[in-house]
Structure 1
């Protein structure tokens, strides 16, 4: 998951997916991380409003620390999700051509929300609740895709959560 500073949108998405993977017993099979396109907040925890929103919804993201996207991330991850079109454009410029098929917009999974996850940083608490709602919808779709991929790789039937 990639956003600008890795303190609002991407750590929320990262924490929610990690939590869902833990609940499904898949946390040792799937590695999730988040990063920023810029190093503004490297080493800092998520925005307190992101932490509070996640905590109110039963997810702890307080232990996460912001980091900047690293060149090796393009080889390390099978899927890199950009929180908005601007992030995707940056990722496409930085990514080796042979790895670009691993880049997607986060909201490609739930296009009814538009193309970009809105940045809540300069707004009030409702923006963080909006990001949470979006991440909830995308995480459900990601979990379905992950379950199907694991089942396909292990030749097992998938039990849908829908």
Structure 2
């Protein structure tokens, strides 16, 4: 019996702008790396405002301009039970981190929550870990958001490969963090 795929999910507010970008970009990187059987990618929103809708047309347009197809995306809401099936929950901003922490029922689930841009070394160096919401802006905001998410996705893929290597080397199937690697921000936030 093969191990279940490592599951990475992107989360933003309504699942029509930022998280679909991450989902589509990382899925392509995973596919291109030949890891589709080992990695599952998904996305959702913290709210139900757009459930069932397509991604924002500006999201679809910026993805298409860079060779990605976001036309099949349908928005959905993140549900607390999903923590049981996910290894890495990638929040777009601190508001999403807080919302997800309130949904997480256990410390182990809270440890799965990270910011998307934590995986972009340039964003880490600059201290700009939140992905700005392009919804209220023009096309240039969507272009900037795309660049931020795409840069992070390369780091996320590297992280995923490391997690998969650990599984293949016989390490126990574990989630993203060991007990000692917990980010204080995630551990100390209370719902």
TM-score, length-normalised on structure 2? 0.78
Q: Secondary structure at the match of 2:114?
A: strand
What is the CA distance between 1:27 and its match in structure 2?
1.5
Deviation, 1:113, is 6.2
Matched position secondary structure for 2:62: helix
Once residues 140 and 155 of structure 2 are traced to their aligned partners in structure 1, the CA distance between those partners, rounded to angstroms, is: 23
Structure 1 residue 155, shift from structure 2 partner: 3.0
State the Cα distance separating 1:106 from its structure 2 match. 1.3
Match of 1:154 in 2: 168
Greater strand content: 2
Quote the RMSD (CA, aligned, Å): 1.4
2:30 to 21, 44, 49: 21
Does the 8 Å CA contact 1:46/1:61 hold for their aligned counterparts? yes
- How far is the alpha carbon of 1:25 from its aligned partner? 0.9
* Alpha-carbon distance between aligned partners in 1 of 2:168 and 2:36, rounded to the nearest angstrom: 16
Matched with 2:177 is: none
Q: Deviations over 1:99-136 (max 9, x none)?
A: 11111111221223613100001110011111111111
1:31-110 matches, within 5 Å, as: 31-98=40-107, 99-110=109-120
Q: For residues 155 and 69 of structure 1, what CA distance do their matches in structure 2 show?
A: 32
Q: Distance in 2 between matches of 1:141 and 1:56?
A: 22
Q: SS of the residue aligned with 1:104? A: strand
Number of residues paired by the alignment? Answer: 156
Give the distance between the partners of 1:113 and 1:35, measured in 2 at CA. 25
Q: Select the residue among 14, 25, 36 that pairs with 1:5.
A: 14
| CA distance, structure 1, for counterparts of residue 57 and residue 110 of structure 2 | 33
1:141 maps to 155
Structure 1: runs of 5+ lacking an equivalent = 157-162
Greater CA deviation, 111-120 or 94-103?
A: 111-120
* Offset of residue 152 of structure 1: 2.5
Unaligned runs of 5+ in 2: 1-9, 171-191
Q: Tell me by how many angstroms 1:42 deviates.
A: 0.3
